[in-house]
Chains A and B, each alone.
Chain A
């Protein structure tokens, strides 16, 4: 069973920030938060991961609350190509291949 809860769907306007929340209230101390996305009919794509500090890369930012029970993925300037299903996963790093995807959030970026 997935250990995360995400909204089923969200939308945002092109060029605006997309903020995708994830609840993981039962996260363990050694578990990381990983985000992947999947564009229709393609393989999942890694976005970012973090343990307790906020992280940023060229694709997105990850904000993790101090108690680590929730996190937010931020796409700072969403484009139409960011329309996808976004999955939040918690896992120890060494077993991160056990991708227990929940339902994910279907993000629609509107023109």
Chain B
């Protein structure tokens, strides 16, 4: 089975802490994405990456950064966590190869972050 694995299902952090959310995919996908999901707001795109060392801002990048040093791994970093970053964070990946691109996204299980 293809798989997107997020490092932590549940995290509790304090305001001001640095938070790392890790995501690994085993499908050799070029594209990877980080979203957050909040009630009533749906999924919002934070950052995405077309390929290794490439990154693009999504709709709500403020307060976040990302790292893609290896193709299979895409990390989301909260430099100084704040209470309004309490949310469910979802990682996804997608193949972008010509002829193979179905547009289908594969999601991880999600990481529920609580910032106190």
Question: A residues within 8 Å of B by Cβ?
Answer: 2, 32, 34, 36, 41-46, 49, 91, 93-94, 96-102
Contacts and interface: CB of A to CB of B under 8 A. Distances in A.
Contact of B43 (A41, A45, A99): A99
Given A99-B35, A101-B43, A93 B101 contact: yes
A97 B45 contact: yes
A33 B37 CA distance: 21
Q: What size tier do the contact residues of chain B reach? A: 20 to 34
Contacts, number: 55
A49 B109 contact: no
Interface of B: 4, 31, 33, 35, 42-43, 45, 48, 90, 92, 94, 101-110, 112
A97 B42 contact: no
Nearest to A36: B105
Q: Which of B33, B92, B104, B108 counts the most chain A CB atoms within 10 A?
A: B104
Given A97-B45, A97-B94, A98-B45, A43 B109 contact: yes
